[in-house]
């Protein structure tokens, strides 16, 4: 992992736990597998504890680690560094994706509820007028009583979002080609086709993986299906939305958006999305940051403890599932 990532992930408590679980020098951080200084430690490594900034585990890199048996990722997706060579070697892999899903889901639910209540619109109008206003006029038909929320993707995050929405008086729709009606009902949602979800949702939140078939899942035609005044929330990947088409809808004022990811990321400085009153644009902050990083660290150390005790991982990564996951 990158040095700054190591410093952010590991405090004194987690470093002490790490050294109690493994024979390791917790101050030694590898960020280049070809670094001569890393040759000795890599040659003897049985476990790699990885994080953001880990370089790809290619066949060439793995050749430097003849004793390696497993990779534990103290973050979410492993697609950036776990390659086909890892599966060919028979390595096991675990990640802290479930821990990282928690803050993303929390961000999403906050965005859903604020969007339904038209909080950002009300705050903007209040800031402009700076006088008494009729709140009924400001909020209009907004509110969260029996609104319809469309969740795209029953991923870890999508499922957590549905779970967190349960206490609220909302109707939740779900589109996921791998989830049937019965399973969706168990989760607390109604399974519908994607176009139906788009047509009937007041708020749509995207939690599908970035795959070739999900690129521009919300293209010009599907965005046009969203009702006037609907809000699109994207905390997944920017490529799932056609940025040009969405920008046109937002500039016209027909839709609202909460975007934590964009395509490209970062948007060019002259993008109108920075200044539009119907857009909340944040710099990829929904995932684990600040004190939330500790949750991921200890999730990874939990897996390391299971490995040390000869137990199966609680959240293993499987090669056959990577084709339809983040």
> What residues have CB less than 8 Å from 5, skipping those under 6 apart?
51, 52, 53
What's the CA gap between 286 and 238, in Å, rounded?
13
Please give the pLDDT value at position 326. 58
Cα 322 to chain center, whole Å? 15
Please name the helix (run of DSSP H) or strand (run of DSSP E) that holds residue 85, with its range, or none: helix 84-88
Residue 150's DSSP bridge partners are: 173, 204
Query: Is 122:139 a contact under the CB 8 Å cutoff?
Result: yes
Q: 20-50, pLDDT tens digit by residue?
A: 999 999 889 999 999 999 999 999 999 999 9
pLDDT at 324 over 80: no
Going by C-alpha positions, the residue among 62, 20, 78, 19 that lies closest to residue 28 is 19
Spatial distance between the Cα atoms of 225 and 227, rounded to a whole number of angstroms: 6
Find all residues with CB under 8 Å of 225, minimum gap 6, and list them: 195, 198, 199
Q: What is the pLDDT of residues 53-93, one digit of tens each?
A: 999 999 999 999 999 999 999 998 899 999 999 999 999 99
- Write down how long the chain is: 326
pLDDT tens, position by position, 228-275: 999 999 999 999 999 999 999 999 999 999 999 999 999 999 999 999
Distance CA 47, CA 72 (A): 7
Tens digit of each residue's pLDDT (9 = 90 or more) over 84-100: 999 999 999 999 999 99
β partners of residue 212: none
pLDDT at residue number 64: 96
Residue 163's pLDDT is: 97
pLDDT higher than threshold 70 for residue 127: yes
Catalytic residues: 237, 265, 284
pLDDT at 323 over 80: no
Average pLDDT estimate for 151-159: 96
Pairwise CA distance, residues 173 & 158, whole Å: 11
Tell the residue number behind the tokens 């989760």, with chain if given. Answer: 187
State pTM to two decimals.
0.92
Query: Mean pLDDT over residues 125-153, rounded?
Result: 90
Which candidate, 315, 244, 321, places its Cα nearest to that of 96?
Answer: 315
**Cα–Cα distance measured from residue 23 to residue 33, given in angstroms and rounded to the nearest whole number:** 20
Q: To the nearest whole number, what is the mean pLDDT of the chain?
A: 95
Mean pLDDT of 206-224: 95
Residue 45, pLDDT score? 96
Q: For residue range 161-210, what is the model confidence (pLDDT) as tens digits?
A: 999 999 999 999 999 999 999 999 999 999 999 999 999 999 999 999 99
């Amino acid at each position: 992992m990158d040095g700054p990532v190591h410093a952010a992930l590991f405090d004194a408590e987690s470093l002490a736990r790490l050294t109690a679980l493994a024979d390791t020098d917790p101050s030694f951080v590898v960020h280049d597998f070809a670094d001569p200084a890393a040759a000795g430690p890599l040659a003897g490594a049985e476990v790699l504890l990885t994080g953001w900034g880990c370089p790809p585990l290619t066949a060439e890199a793995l050749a430097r680690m003849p004793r390696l048996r497993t990779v534990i990722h103290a973050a979410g997706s492993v697609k950036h560094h776990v390659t086909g060579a890892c599966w060919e070697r028979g390595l096991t892999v675990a990640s802290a994706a479930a821990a990282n899903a928690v803050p993303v889901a929390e961000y999403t639910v906050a965005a859903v509820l604020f969007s339904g209540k038209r909080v950002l619109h009300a705050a903007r109008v209040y800031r402009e007028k700076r006088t008494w206003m009729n709140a009924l006029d400001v909020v209009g038909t907004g509110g969260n009583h029996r609104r319809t929320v469309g969740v795209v993707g029953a991923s870890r995050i999508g499922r957590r979002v549905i779970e967190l929405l349960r206490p609220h008086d909302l109707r939740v729709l779900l589109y996921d080609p791998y989830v049937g009606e019965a399973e969706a009902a168990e989760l607390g949602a109604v399974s519908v086709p994607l176009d139906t979800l788009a047509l009937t949702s007041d708020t749509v939140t995207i939690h599908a993986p970035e795959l070739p078939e999900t690129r521009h899942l919300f293209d010009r035609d599907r965005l046009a299906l969203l009702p006037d005044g609907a809000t699109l929330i994207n905390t997944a990947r920017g490529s799932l939305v056609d940025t040009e088409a969405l920008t046109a809808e937002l500039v016209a004022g027909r839709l609202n958006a909460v975007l934590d990811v964009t395509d490209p990321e970062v948007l060019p400085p002259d993008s109108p999305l920075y200044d539009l009153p119907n857009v909340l644009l944040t710099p990829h902050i929904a995932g684990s940051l600040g004190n939330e990083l500790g949750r991921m660290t200890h999730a990874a150390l939990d897996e390391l403890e299971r490995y040390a005790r000869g137990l199966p991982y609680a959240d293993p990564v499987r090669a056959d599932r990577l084709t339809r996951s983040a």
